[in-house]
Amino acid sequence: METYSKPACAEQALHWAAIWFKQLAAFHRRNDADSDWRFSAGDVIAFLRSKRDGGAPAWKRMKIIEGLIVYRSLVQRQSVQDLLPLKFKMHEIIAIERTQREGYDSIDDVVGKINPREPDAIQEFRRAMRRDGMAYATERSYVGKLKAFMADRGLACLADFDSIGASDVGAHLTDLAVDGNVAPSTQNAAFHALLKFFTLVLKRDMGPIEAIRANKGKQIPSVLHPEEVRRVLNGLKGVHLVIAKLLYGCGMRISEAMRLRVKDLDFANRQIEIHQSKGGKSRLVPMPDHLVTPLKRWVASRAALHAGDLDEGVASVWLPYALTKKYPAAHRSLPWQYLFASPRLSKDPRTGRLHRHHLTFDTFQVHLRRAVIAAGLFKHVTSHTFRHCFATHLLWAGTDIRSIQQLLGHSDVRTTEIYTHVRNPNEKRVESPLDRLQMSAGGAAKPWIARDVTTTDLVAT
């Protein structure tokens, strides 16, 4: 999100924000003097559609969204969470309009190079996922699941899918659970990969699936005590300490932290933008005061690394969708660079271009494992444990479950409610009968049976 730390920028932004709010209010026949009118995302969408129908290009409609976000945030002092998806969607529309207006030299400009030796079904799936902006790790996983399905059902090309339906998918998922003995997450990944293939490539509904599901059971998240979190953090240094504090302080997933770009840090409003999270969602999270100074220092060091890349002519970063066509110089600008950049340049497997990518997830996990051992903990601790701790510790502190749901980016509050099953150490414990069985030197036990029941009664039964 843009920050408006300079007075001139803030004044200009507020000026246009007031103009767009006034036009929005007039469109909905509201009194523009009512500056506290709580307009909804639906109100904005209707206004944008009228502008589109009137011939306003996507870039101008983006200015309207940005202005209304500024108005909601700086004037009304209200959350802009519901407006952010409109901004992100408009980025895609801008790229599409630019593509339609200017055209591309080849399909490679849109989706990168596709291996022509792969089956046509795989090629089309890759193209569809890249146009849809899916992460490369997801693409690789989904392609693997589709290849397994094709091998299982004896499919060689896209035409073979004409007779494939829900029964085939159900049989494959059942085979995975029964014969393959796979983990529930593996079976779920196979289901979602095939669902995406049906939606993006075959463009038809998969239909209801009947399959034996791998039984996961109800899992209670592993959570550290706050003092244990402190001990683990004390065992980390440098960039890995900053990342760990982001995970615990903001409830981020490790993938979300690693994919942060410099522009996602909003120091003026003390918040962090998280884009393209699980399910393609985006959200805002508060920036912990404790992290403001460390993050500013890290941005400064990142700027120095980027300056060196510019001098050497190798400054570049991967950009989603067709943004490189809309913003040709963006991949070389500092705001778009990954915050936690790799010390080495790497080649994009889809395009063959040289970029400075973000740190790998495994690198952080290695340092975390060492810190856990140094802290003397025997619990199974991963990067995701910090996210569990974030939610659980907020719950213990009295934060309502709906607020935690929003911070975590859960679509369904039932997903968040799993943290209510983690025992709060501050609550009164149920005393175990074993602890009450305190034998005295003479062998007498501390009485613990209710007064209206005697030991004779128990023996008699």
Residues annotated catalytic, as ranges: 253, 278, 384, 387, 410, 419
Buried-state track 116-151, b at ≥16 Cβ within 10 A, e below 16: eeebebbbbbbbbbbebebeeeebebbbebbbbbbe
Cα torsion angle, 130, 134, 138, 143, sign: negative
- 338 contacts 347 by C-beta, under 8 angstroms: no
| 264, 265, 270, 276 alpha-carbon torsion, rounded to 10° | 30
Distance (Å, rounded) from C-alpha 169 to C-alpha 208?
10
- 239 contacts 359 by C-beta, under 8 angstroms: yes
| Exposed / middle / buried, residue 157 (Cβ in 10 Å: 0-12, 13-18, 19+) | exposed
**Encoded amino acid at 85, one letter:** P
Q: Which helix (H) or strand (E) holds 285?
A: strand 283-286
Cα 267 to Cα 121, 250, 270, 371, distances in angstroms: 46, 15, 5, 29
Other C-beta atoms within 10 Å of 258: how many? 23
Residue 273 sits at φ, ψ, to 5 deg, of: -90, 135
Residue with structure tokens 């085979």?
A: 175
Distance (Å, rounded) from C-alpha 159 to C-alpha 118?
15
Report DSSP letters for 327-390, one per residue: STTGGGSGGGSBSSB-SS-EE-TTT--EE--BPPHHHHHHHHHHHHHHTT--S---HHHHHHHH
- 94 contacts 62 by C-beta, under 8 angstroms: yes
- 1 contacts 269 by C-beta, under 8 angstroms: yes
Report DSSP letters for 406-444, one per residue: HHHT-SSHHHHGGGGGSPPTTSPPPPPHHHH----TTSP
**Encoded amino acid at 458, one letter:** L
